[in-house]
Amino acid sequence: MGRLFGTDGVRGVANADLTVELALGLSVAAAHVLAEAGTFAGHRPKAVVGRDPRASGEFLEAAVVAGLASAGVDVLRVGVLPTPAVAHLTGVLGADLGVMLSASHNAMPDNGIKFFARGGHKLADELEDRIESVYEEHRTGAPWDRPTGAGVGRVTPYTEGVEQYTAHLLGVLPNRLDGLKIVLDEAHGAASRVSPAAFARAGAEIVTIGAEPDGLNINEGCGSTHLDLLKAAVVEQGADLGIAHDGDADRCLAVDHTGAEIDGDQILAVLALGMRERGVLREDTVVATVMSNLGFKLALEREGLSLVQTAVGDRYVLEEMKRHGFALGGEQSGHVIILDHATTGDGTLTGLLLAARVAETGRSLAELAGVMERLPQVLVNVPDVDKTRVTTSAELATAVAEAERTLGATGRVLLRPSGTEPLVRVMVEAADIDQARAVAARLADVVKSALG
């Protein structure tokens, strides 16, 4: 059996890959593993379970809740809420476990299960591995030890979650949003109630699109992966800015008043300068991945800020932040982590803080984001090659060194083996798009000949 847990929980096509049996079995296994690890010692265990609006979330939630309760865990069902809200509630309600059912920005037929440990933090890799092995062991025949009578878990709807999370978001804001007109694209997803309420209560005039989830339309032509609707709405409404989330609202991308996209790198740059002014950007450092635009790094250097780069994936960003106590990190895709106020990427919080910076400075988002210039970035996927030899091929090393000499200080080369496919990704940045394309094409040819 291949590993069930990926970098962001268990994910697949609902009712095909991610079945009722799998959801139930993993939930029971999680309860047993956490009990075995001493998490439940001395008290009756409690879990928080939430989901995004996907139709499949209805039956998968029922399976997860049944599995946990059958293993003696009391369950608080918080309903449809963003992933960061479920993480937050897991922490503030003193739960031993949080479970979120969502496939984030994926298309509607997919779904996923993500577990949070006590405090709302991502479950440790070794616990995920143990859950998977215990699940497999019992799937093939070993019976579960099941409580009976008063030992079974109780299931309670928890309706205060929306208000608690919204109040948390508003309590974090350094200033109000009065005077701003903002278009919100909720991706017909988990933030469709929370995000408009939070922005309105913070004082903004809001226009919402993509905020009518029906279980089938999540991420469909809208949200952070499809910005055209938001761009058009911002211009048409004469808004100051637009904010887009994905299906579970752990991401945020933005649009300025002209309809231009503001990506995660630019959002990080704007937030970093604001946090430094308030004295909360610890060690004047931002954490991002190696895929961040070189323009982002150059902008931070000009502003006297440091950049720490990690492997691709918000989990690696979070690990680095926690290891050194950094306050701000994220990805170009819009995963932004503000560790003083969230244990995971929080799209609604990010959008609120970005808008607060616009309101505080009286400057447009376009002007604020102008602190960095996005250098042209070309990405070429080279398939059917031996990706394991990327770091050992002398021919490839010579070609990369030559490319770096050609580009100089205003360009960058990154060769990265795919984590899931037999291909190598060639990424080239340069001040000139034609130069970036030419260098990328040359390197792709060398990858083919050297690793083919």
Instruction: Give me the catalytic one of 56, 104, 192, 393.
Output: 104
Sign of CA dihedral 360, 162, 27, 186: negative
Interior/surface letters 304-342, b for 16+ CB within 10 angstroms, e for the rest: ebebbbbebbbbbbbbbbeeeebbbbbbbbbbbbbbebb
Q: Vertex 84, ends 83 and 90: CA angle to 5°?
A: 95
Q: Vertex 165, ends 237 and 103: CA angle to 5°?
A: 75
Decide: 272 and 300 in contact? Cβ < 8 Å. Answer: yes
Decide: 168 and 87 in contact? Cβ < 8 Å. Answer: no
Strand order in the sheet with 181-185: 205-209, 181-185, 241-244, 253-256, 261-262
* Interatomic CA distance for residues 66 and 113, integer angstroms: 15
Dihedral of the alpha carbons of 191, 193, 197, 200, in degrees to the nearest 10: 80
Residue 225 has phi, psi (to 5 degrees) of -95, -5
Decide: 234 and 181 in contact? Cβ < 8 Å. Answer: no
What one-character DSSP code corresponds to residue 114?
A: E
* Interatomic CA distance for residues 235 and 220, integer angstroms: 21
Q: Which residues pair with 15 in a beta bridge?
A: none
To the question of whether residue 8 is assigned a binding role by annotation, the answer is no
Q: Is 104 a catalytic residue?
A: yes
Q: What is the largest CA-CA distance in the chain?
A: 73
To the question of whether residue 246 is assigned a binding role by annotation, the answer is yes
Q: Secondary structure of the chain: what % helix, strand, coil (to 5)? A: 40, 20, 35
In three-state secondary structure terms, 123 is: coil
**Residue numbers annotated as active site:** 104
- Summarize the annotated binding site for Mg(2+) as residue ranges: 104, 246, 248, 250
